[in-house]
Structure 1
């Protein structure tokens, strides 16, 4: 396949490399062009604009930080939609709002272009090793056509129907489960530390008994070791995702009280200058509330 890739941050770069290693012809674009150097050296073509990355491509992936970046890079001047041929497909893997996903689907349909939302679960090491989980939604025929590319980046693909916005709702919901799990573990670690039980001991008990999922093992380890820098996922992105979750809840008239709590933890962390840390650093707030030293 001829594939364009727009957005070469820690996640996008790993995904793009998997596509290149799978034998696809790859064109890459990033606003900071140097982030594409390693991929170009490995055989990718550097694209000057998102439209250039989309030109002559069968599909274009985008993996960008937030709604404004995705909208600009897709529908703005020299955006993906400008270069994408009729019948070619934009696959958005960014964590964006349900509303924007709907607007993108409509905008591409007006141009006779395909659109899929294929959000991913996993941190940068999983992206680099092709072990992401992919949640895809959109036209089933397009899902079937794009399957080889999706299989190159993920260990398992979950389809959630023909409406692309569903993938974004699922992604926001699963990110929220990660954030709320961090909050739960942080409170438990703080309580037991004050009771004389080391966080490392609690983590061993948790992950050696009932709580054996990667979210407990991986994020529990980050919390106990305080390995917040460099970030695998930035605090600012977690705050953005939580805001989008609450926005979706408001639109669907679903109360999300734990979501409000997590948002407040993230806001407090940003206020303390922790924007550049891994989002698991908001676990510090539970320690502070318990009167424990950082």
Structure 2
């Protein structure tokens, strides 16, 4: 990704939505649904920013660090949503999101009229638009806000997010969003636009992993010095996170997991399906799918998704 270009856009978007619609932490009640590693880190930053926070997770023990920060543990998604002006969800996939939203004790059962639900998960564009329609029909508002970044970035409140939905509601929610993702890109009014932007970002990331692996395999088979190729790749991929992966893939460090192979396969399938919706075939993504499936067949489903590069190298 072009960091310089992102910097320009970030500066512009940070100036939007700072009018009277913005509220202080004392004026807003927030709920957070889904407490995986990313969710816990994001929710902790919301709480540290001073917001009243209710949380829910199917495994309640994961809420312990947030309760220690003063958050309230709710018994159901509906109970978490009941007092919330803004509810944020961070869940694994389409099925998990749809279930938590639509179950009898789910988000829509508890969310107040006029309240906002911000979905930070990587889900299909089709479901994003469906969620937008479901919330609108119930008199609620859905904003798609998938985040980009690994757990260390979430812990440091340095995530990037693509958001799409009602512009006024995005502006009113901006202070909460900025507490976990200060780099905010408003990409449109349709929820699916944010989901597509996130899938494109992940496609760029996944493609970079594949390029690094193939370049190293070519160099190794041609007896080029590994140090030379690492230097070439590090210079070419200037993004700090990408530079980390150059070393990670070169050293086959797949056990320090930032994102699992099974999670990567899910996202790549979403990329392929979203592109097919606009009559585009992502041949590179199809190759990634095959390599991730081969990785999982070898029992690497819980290794870092960069293990897909070892399919070529082996």
Query: Does the TM-score normalized on the shorter chain lie above 0.5?
Result: yes
Query: Which position in structure 2 is the counterpart of 1:21?
Result: 48
- The structural deviation recorded for 1:197 is 3.2
Aligned to 2:249: 223
How much is the aligned-residue C-alpha RMSD, in angstroms? 1.2
**Structure-1 residue corresponding to 2:82:** 55
User: Among 284, 287, 299, which residue is 1:273 paired with?
Assistant: 299
CA distance in 2, matches of 1:12, 1:221: 27
Runs of at least 5 residues in structure 2 that lack an aligned partner in the other structure: 1-27
TM score, norm. by length of structure 2? 0.89
SS of residue paired to 2:285: helix
Is 2:65 the partner of 1:44? no
Change in 2 beyond 3 A, CA 1:195/1:138: same
- Quote the residue 1:292 is aligned against: none
Contact 1:28 1:44 in 2 (8 A): yes
Deviation at 1:230, TM superposition (A): 4.0
Residue-pair matches, total:
287
* Contact residue 99 and residue 106 of structure 2 kept, 8 A: yes
- Identify which range, 86-95 or 29-38, moves more after superposition: 29-38
Counterpart in the other structure of 1:146 = 173
Give the alignment of 1:73-222 within 5 angstroms: 73-207=100-234, 209-222=235-248
Question: Please, which runs of 5 or more residues in structure 1 have no aligned partner?
Answer: 289-294
| Cα shift readout 1:234-276 (whole Å, capped 9, x = no counterpart) | 1111111111111111111012111111111111111111111
SS in 2 for 1:160: strand
Secondary structure of the structure 2 residue equivalent to 1:252: coil
Query: What is the TM-score when the length of structure 1 is the normalising length?
Result: 0.95
Contact kept, 8 Å, 1:95 with 1:168, in 2: the verdict is yes
- Asked if 2 retains the 8 angstrom alpha-carbon contact of 1:51 and 1:80, the reply is yes
- In structure 2, distance between residues paired with 1:56 and 1:114: 15
1:243 maps to which of 225, 247, 269: 269
Relative to structure 1, the CA distance from residue 221 to residue 84 in structure 2 (aligned partners, 3 Å threshold; closer, same or farther) is: same
The superposition leaves residues 200-255 of structure 1 with CA deviations (integer Å, 9 ceiling, x where unpaired) of: 44222322x33212342122122123222242111111111111111111111012
Cα deviation 1:148-204 (Å, max 9, x = unaligned)? 011111131000011111000111111111111101100101111222335444222
Question: Conserved in 2, the CA contact under 8 Å of 1:50 and 1:79?
Answer: yes
Question: In 2, Cα distance between the equivalents of 1:260 and 1:99?
Answer: 20
Residue 234 in structure 1 maps to residue 265 in structure 2: no
| Aligned counterpart, 1:291 | none
Counterpart in the other structure of 2:99? 72
CA contact under 8 A between 1:58 and 1:89: conserved in structure 2? yes
Deviations 1:79-137 (A, max 9, x none): 11111000000000000001111111011001110110001110000001011111100
Would the aligned equivalents of 2:212 and 2:233 in 1 still touch at CA under 8 Å? no
Go from structure 1 to structure 2 and tell me whether the alpha carbon gap of 1:143 and 1:202 turns closer, same or farther (over 3 Å shift). Answer: same
CA deviation profile, 1:16-70 (whole Å, cap 9, x unmatched): 1110110111111111111111111111111111111111101111000000000
8 Å CA contact 2:154, 2:180 repeated in 1 = yes
Residue in 2 that maps onto 1:253: 279
Does the 8 Å contact 2:45/2:155 carry over to 1? yes
Cα–Cα, structure 1 residues 259 and 20, in superposed 2: closer, same or farther, change >3 Å? same
Contact 2:39 2:90 in 1 (8 A): yes
**SS at structure 1 position matched to 2:188:** coil
